[in-house]
Amino acid sequence: MSPQPLQSPLHFYHYHSPIQTQTLPDSVYIILEVEAFNATLSFCTPHMALLHKLAPFTSLHTPSTKTSHSPPPRRRVISFSASPFTEKHSLERYQRDQWVYESTIQEGQSQTTPFPLPCDSASLREHDIALQLPELKKLLQVLREKRECGEEGCVPGNVFLVGTGPGDPELLTLKAMRVIKSADLLLYDRLVSNDVLDLVGPDARLLYVGKTAGYHSRTQEEIHELLLSFAEAGATVVRLKGGDPLVFGRGGEEMDFLQQQGIQVKVIPGITAASGIAAELGIPLTHRGIANSVRFLTGHSRKGGSDPLFVSENAADPDSTLVVYMGLSTFPSLAQKLMLNGLSPQTPAAAIERGTTLQQRTVFAELKDLHEKITSTQLVSPTLIIIGKVVELSPFWPIPTKEESCLIKA
């Protein structure tokens, strides 16, 4: 059916629900019709549904004495995949964010047949947002009623941009832990690890706003509006980002937008992937006599092509360390440009998938051979790439030298 516009500060649309539940003796089966983004969990055929047996969620099907805006009991997320992160339409995501689908689930219980789900990613994204709209509006209303108001008006809430590090929860700062536990609402990205999300307090609401190649659950502008709407309602809003929020995390854009709207923003730094992963491998990003500087590059292409955004001649400095974020798809072009600009093909390099997590995988090679190693090992995102002579200092560097390394000097 055609979408019916609803007036809302979030400017979304309402569709019928594809999510239904049926109660069984000791479990709940949730029917999730989701698009198959090359995932084994989902199908994208009209009226095709996937049944997965989850841990009991009595709040989904048992009458409760609590009001509709009371948070459901928190359950530890059971991992159904090898990834330590939230992958697109994973069951972990829907299990973690179940509160925002509560109205949809209640509506779905009265339906006898599932509705077809659009198969293109744009329509699917709008569909998923629409399912969340009723509970988001309820939560906004509850927060507005609770906020402090005086003669000078209502006091807005605070927004915290919190870096959660590259994945290992023990790399969180104490300040990040304190803020995470005090939040009313946490908007989290894909690369905030499941282990970190397990630390969130039982009364907090979690909402996934992550982005992956080809599918953005929220546009950046929609994330801005979510942050603003809930801050204006008086909530303590925590924006969780992998790594550091101000290193390729678009935290600066969110901070600038909110400050222009009069919202106070506090930034809590996190250990960026370059530092955390290099330390894990024993790679010093700088080293006296070997690397006198370090440069962070984004491997993203603005139009989704195979070329990185920008590679200057200075990036090929043999006395500098290069760390490439989000560079898997553009690495062949990046490596070629670096070598054309004078960087030796024998420069040591490493590619690290899911660094600092239990699922970490690493390949070492000289620059000219690294792409072939990445391909043969089938590394996937997120993968960090480190290029420079310091890589050879890692105790894991596998390539023997004919004579004592020239890197070890007095």
pLDDT means per 10 residues, the chain with 410 residues, are 37 34 33 34 33 30 40 42 75 84 70 56 82 90 84 85 96 96 94 91 91 85 96 95 95 96 96 98 98 92 60 84 93 92 96 96 98 96 97 93 47
Is the sign of the CA dihedral 314, 241, 213, 350 positive or negative? positive
Domains of the chain, residue spans: 156-271, 274-393
Q: Give the predicted TM-score (pTM) of the model.
A: 0.77
**In whole angstroms, what is the distance from residue 114 CA to residue 93 CA?**
21
CATH superfamily of 156-271: Tetrapyrrole methylase, N-terminal domain (3.40.1010.10)
**In whole angstroms, what is the distance from residue 163 CA to residue 176 CA?**
7
Catalytic residue among 244, 255, 326, 389: 326
189 a catalytic residue: yes
Catalytic residue among 211, 307, 368, 373: 211
Residue tagged 């108001």 (tokens) = 149
326 a catalytic residue: yes
Confidence at residue 180, expressed as pLDDT on a 0 to 100 scale: 94
Q: Are 100 and 136 in contact (CB under 8 A)?
A: yes
Catalytic residue among 128, 184, 189, 195: 189
- Is-same-fold flag (156-271; 274-393)? no
Domain 274-393 matching CATH 3.30.950.10: the answer reads: yes
